[in-house]
Amino acid sequence: MTDLKTPLLDRVNLPSDLKGLSDRELRQLADELRAETISAVSVTGGHLGAGLGVVELTVAIHAVFDTPRDKLIWDVGHQCYPHKILTGRRDRIRTLRMEGGLSGFTKRSESPYDPFGAAHSSTSISAALGFAMAAELGGDPGDAIAVIGDGAMSAGMAFEAMNNAGHLGQRLFVILNDNEMSIAPPVGALSAYLSKLYAEAPMQDLKQVAKGFLGLLPPPLQEGAKRAKDMLKGMAVGGTLFESLGFSYLGPIDGHDLDQLLPVLRTVKARADGPMLIHVLTKKGKGYAPAEAARDKGHATAKFDVLTGVQVKAASNAPSYTKVFAQSLVAEAERDEKIVAITAAMPDGTGLNLFQDRFPKRCFDVGIAEQHAVTFSAALAAGGMKPFCALYSTFLQRGYDQVVHDVAIQRLPVRFAIDRAGLVGADGATHAGAFDVAFMANLPGIVVMAAADEAELVHMVATAVAHDAGPIAFRFPRGDGVGVEMPARGVPLEIGKGRVIREGSRVAILSFGTRLAEVLKAAEALEARGGVGHRRRRPLCQTPGPGPDLAAGRRA
Amino acid sequence: MQLAAGHEALITVEEGAVGGFGSHVAQLLADEGVFDRGLKYRSMVLPDIFIDQASPEAMYRVAGMEAAQIEAKVLAVLGVAVVGLRA
């Protein structure tokens, strides 16, 4: 967009440039920042809705606090595009997620304004507490501020951090960015609690305030605030959730209104002497109509046209592995009522939205809670069901002890559908599915499979359905299949048996998974060279275990 | 095992870091004494770095797992002299 005018934003290269702006100018700056964010993402694609929801918050935090001395930590990090624009990276903002360009998440090696990187959820409070304690003990000085969404707050790790922070009592700021949704509509009791908070406390009239701040309000409002506090104390939770964890709670305030954000942040910066939770209400996709109207609020978009919001979708010839998995599972579930499916807040990403639509009572979205998802699946299996636990390779890492302790040691037949195996592209190292074969295959009693193409994936789903002897995992990559003919119906494969694709004499190439396509290309090139005989062999399944089993498999 | 017996060289390929498929195959072959009798063995795995964002194809090129690189690996293992091969 060549006609995007941002006169104020043009004067801001680093957050220190904000100190010279009036509050009125900061409001204008926020509008320009929003426009620049939309313009950039229209060119790069990426996470749009989350960033738009925190434009005002980003401006306010950088205007009030003194980054990078003060450590600002964004949970997950995908909402950081406005932050990057304000912290010396505007010139490269149209390289987001590209080779050699800015990361789509916060990254320590990229900027001193990213003191701690992220991309997985719910790590920000732990990180902020670490910085706060380091400062206390003579390390790097400065305040620590974590900005975390309501979805991310529902993960166990966030509560671990809150609990520890409350116990330590160190000055710390946690800004709860409450937009009522995280990727998919919210699940769980926490969202009901948060909904109740602001359903019964209209922002304009009632302010729930911490003890030390009650006196700041004019007398009529003090009464209302006390009433709100008492009302909330009567809730079944037993006192407000956050205060019982040792935090002082302030809010909820309008996260798009700088006239509320600036005074609140200035006050807490001047007065806080312990952990503070500031509850801020925002709208994902705020300020861009096509995002606000979309079901996922513009969570992740391709390149798009700014005026219309229409995204550029690449044409594809083959179905995605994700879709093939989901459709195969639904087909199997039609025949077997014991099949249930579990996702951790990613019904669209895993394709299980298809399963959910067809069998709503047999599909569980447990929220951002991989540890729970795994143990929950284990007990479903112990209770006689056939659970398919669908977690991206990188997110399976979060539930690893549960795989070992609850699934493997007890030899429970949990079926792990591991999507995004291998390298994933624009999301980079934080999302790479590089380690799942290593950390799954060495567990006693587990079967690990890797689909070489989408047809094989169909059969692997059937294989997993049929396998009751213990845990079984099958991995497949992001993206589309290779375009092979699809079977009408999945047929269980023989565990431990490989498939010979081509015969040769001098070299045997054992391909595990979708590198097969490249291996075959290499084979053809080698054939053309002549003089090098080779055999490609594709082991579909692997049962790590005593040597003889594996040897028997290979002999097949 | 049969493959090892019938071929001069055995190469595994996977889209994962060390410690996975190739490592298990190596363990089996070692346990069975195959290396004692001689076998050229290579495991193609993701390298010991965190690879920066790019297209998956570009990232696999960094990882050395493109078709041309697999071809080069085979030729190197066999000790085939190569003129003008794209690395």
Per-residue H/E/C for A380-407: HHHCCCEEEEEEEHHHHHHHHHHHHHHH
Judged by CB atoms closer than 8 Å, whether chains meet at A508 and B11 is answered as yes
Position A381 confidence tier, pLDDT thresholds 50, 70, 90: very high
Q: Which CATH number fits domain B2-78: 3.30.230.10, 3.40.190.10, 3.40.50.920, 3.30.460.90?
A: 3.40.50.920
Determine the Cα–Cα distance for residues A479 and A514; give it in Å rounded to an integer.
11
- How do strand A339-343 and strand A172-178 relate by DSSP bridges? unpaired
If you average pLDDT over residues A292-305, what whole number do you get? 86
Chain B residues with CB under 8 Å of A500 CB are none
- Catalogue all structural domains in chain A, each as residue range(s) with its CATH number: 9-293 (3.40.50.970), 321-493 (3.40.50.970)
Q: What is the Cα Rg of chain A in Å?
A: 26
**pLDDT reading at B82 higher than 90:** no
Answer yes or no: are the C-beta atoms of B14 and A437 closer than 8 Å.
yes
Out of A90, A398, A415, A475, which one is annotated catalytic? A398
The answer to whether A284 is a known catalytic residue is yes
pLDDT in tens, B49-60: 999 999 999 999
Comparison of pLDDT for A306 and A334, the residue scoring more:
A334
Start-to-end CA distance of chain A, whole Å, equals 61
Chain B residues with CB under 8 Å of A98 CB are 53-54
Out of A370, A420, A536, A538, which one is annotated catalytic? A370
Following CA atoms A533, A539, A545, A548 in sequence, which dihedral angle do they give, to the nearest 10 degrees? -50
Share of chain A above pLDDT 90, in %: 67
- What number is the ipTM of this complex? 0.92
Question: What is the model's pLDDT at position A281?
Answer: 85
Coil, helix or strand at residue A422? strand
Beta bridge partner(s), residue B43: B12
Determine the Cα–Cα distance for residues A354 and A297; give it in Å rounded to an integer.
20
pLDDT in tens, B7-36: 889 999 999 999 999 999 999 999 999 999
Judged by CB atoms closer than 8 Å, whether chains meet at B12 and A542 is answered as no
Question: What is the model's pLDDT at position A543?
Answer: 41
Mean pLDDT of chain A: 86
Determine the Cα–Cα distance for residues A391 and A374; give it in Å rounded to an integer.
9
Comparison of pLDDT for A539 and A46, the residue scoring more:
A46
Answer yes or no: are the C-beta atoms of A344 and A370 closer than 8 Å.
yes
DSSP E strands, A114-163: 144-149
Of residues B53, B3, B69, the one with CA closest to residue A508 = B3
Q: What is the dihedral sign for C-alpha A146, A151, A152, A156?
A: positive
Which 238-267 residues of chain A touch chain B by CB within 8 A?
A: none
